[in-house]
Amino acid sequence: MQDIRWRAFWLALSLVFVCLITWAVTDAITALVLFGLGVIAYLAGHLYWLHQLLQWFRHPDLSTMPLGKGIWEEVFAAIYHQQRRYSRSQTQLSSALDRFRHAASALPDGVVLLDSSDKIEWCNTMAESQLGLTLSQDHAQPISYLVRHTDFIHYLRDQEYSEPIKLKSWRNPEITLEIQLVPFGANQKLLICRDISQLEKLEHMRRDFIANVSHELRTPLTVVGGFLETLMDMDGKIPEEFRNYFNLMQEQTARMRHLVEDLLTLSQLENSQTVPQDTEIDVATLLATVMNEARSLSNGRHRLSLESDPGLCLTGSPDELHSAFGNLVSNAIRYTPEGGEITMSWKQRDQEGVFSVKDTGIGIEQQHIDRLTERFYRVDRSRSRETGGTGLGLSIVKHILTRHQARLEIQSEPGKGSTFTAVFPKARLVHKQSALFH
């Protein structure tokens, strides 16, 4: 660009020099006429090449690009090289896009590319099969016009894409689809659709198997436990040297019965398709019951305290919440050494209802916290057996809270204790107008 400016400067200087010589040889009028004609010729040349450039831009093709003269020769050369680089980039992008589409077409999952307005830009063959799309006809159509399932419409509108949703296929009721939206780029989204029908069947089989086995085990365990209690109560019928064996059998039978009950409870929660009943629960009264159960379980070995807001109530299932709160408290008692302190509280925080159980127990290392709600997961298996835990308590708590649109928060520090907090949404809170805070 600097070279072009200098060339224009020297051209203008040369014209001025010629005009000055003409003025000296002839007169001023002739020099001015010559200067004007030179300027007009200079501008006409620029206008001509600008016109040629405009004509080329209307149908850009490297083979028809003008060559130009003078300054314009460099301009056209620069545009030519820029266009070649652009063409190479376009070719590379097209090749990369073709490779992506080829790879996406081979995926076992359906893939749909949505623009910022949730319109279909592209989809693979599997998406066409699973969602009933036809790319040639549905391109640039809003996805909500073609996938009319109510749950999907809400999922798309709410823009909470951290978790996938499950839908029954509207084309085949026996097929279950898992759909997740992944935002990327400039408000674009990638819709990933997967057929999980087989996984769902296996999960149902697992649940039915656990429920059936647990149900079948309940009766014989009850019979065995009853006979053991009867034998233990019969004075003189059991020799003293065998009494320890009978005590051990009774303890293990009780532990198995507890495990079966927890398995049945978890199975019922997993298989339940109905939402919890919206019964108004006096949480303060419920926690008083939980407190009495905690005193019985602790048997004076811990300092127990309860702080509750008597004017703050919940809507939900009393039996399920009783089970959830009781599991949190019993866990705290089991894992807190004798002489430790356990504090229960129920209050409102940031428009949410919060039930927390804080203990001064052994605590939990951070690496275990994320897995505590998994079935049968135990930080210390030997200690769990000693305390009578089944490894299902927190899994039951998680399912109950999920059914009540609540969440479980866990804070813990090894050697200092843990705090388990159940947080309930504002929609489930009920305030007693006549209640007084204590």
> Are 278 and 317 a contacting pair, CB within 8 Å?
no
Query: pLDDT by residue (tens digit) across 174-233?
Result: 888 999 999 987 788 989 999 888 888 887 787 777 777 777 777 787 888 887 787 777
* pTM for the model: 0.55
Q: Could you tell me which residue, 71 or 409, shows the higher pLDDT?
A: 409
Q: Work out the pLDDT band at 119, boundaries 50, 70, 90.
A: very high
- Rounded to the nearest integer, the mean pLDDT of the chain is 81
User: How many Cα atoms occupy the beta-carbon half-sphere of 206 within 13 Å?
Assistant: 8
Q: What is the pLDDT of residues 243-255, one digit of tens each?
A: 787 788 887 787 7
Measured from the Cβ of residue 35, the count of other Cβ atoms closer than 10 Å reads 17
Region 257-269: mean pLDDT is: 75
Torsion, CA 311, CA 316, CA 317, CA 321, rounded to 10: -60
Banded pLDDT at 292 (limits 50, 70, 90)? very high
Residue ranges covered by each domain of the chain: 2-96, 107-195, 199-271, 279-431
Q: Considering the domain delimited by 107-195, tell me its CATH architecture.
A: 2-Layer Sandwich (3.30)
Rg, Å, the chain Cα set: 40
- Hey, which CATH number is domain 199-271, 3.30.310.50, 1.10.10.10, 1.10.287.130, 2.40.30.10? 1.10.287.130
* Residue bearing the bigger pLDDT, 400 or 107: 400
pLDDT, tens digit, 9 for 90 and up, residues 140-154? 899 988 888 888 888
**How far is C-alpha 282 from the geometric centre of its chain's CA atoms?**
34
Q: What is the mean pLDDT of residues 284-303?
A: 91
For 279-431, CATH number out of 3.40.50.300, 3.30.565.10, 3.90.79.10, 3.40.50.10800 equals: 3.30.565.10
The average pLDDT across 41-50 equals: 78
What's the confidence (pLDDT) of residue 387?
53
The 3 state secondary structure assigned to the chain is CHHHHHHHHHHHHHHHHHHHHHHHHCCHHHHHHHHHHHHHHHHHHHHHHHHHHHHHHHCCCHHHCCCCCCHHHHHHHHHHHHHHHHHHHHHHHHHHHHHHHHHHHCCCCEEEEECCCCEEEEECHHHHHHHCCCHHHHCCCEHHHHCCCHHHHHHHHHCCCCCCEEEECCCCCCCEEEEEEEEECCCEEEEEEEECHHHHHHHHHHHHHHHHHHHHHHHHHHHHHHHHHHHHHCCCCCCHHHHHHHHHHHHHHHHHHHHHHHHHHHHHHHHCCCCCCCEEECHHHHHHHHHHHHHHHHCCCCEEEEEECCCEEEEECHHHHHHHHHHHHHHHHHCCCCCCEEEEEEEEECCEEEEEEEECCCCCCHHHHCCCCCCCCCCCHHHHHHHCCCCCHHHHHHHHHHHCCCEEEEEEECCCEEEEEEEECHHHEEECCCCCCC
Confidence of residue 54 (pLDDT cuts 50, 70, 90): confident
Q: What pLDDT score was predicted for residue 1?
A: 46
Residue-wise pLDDT tens digits, 356-401: 999 998 888 888 888 887 777 666 655 555 555 666 778 888 888 9
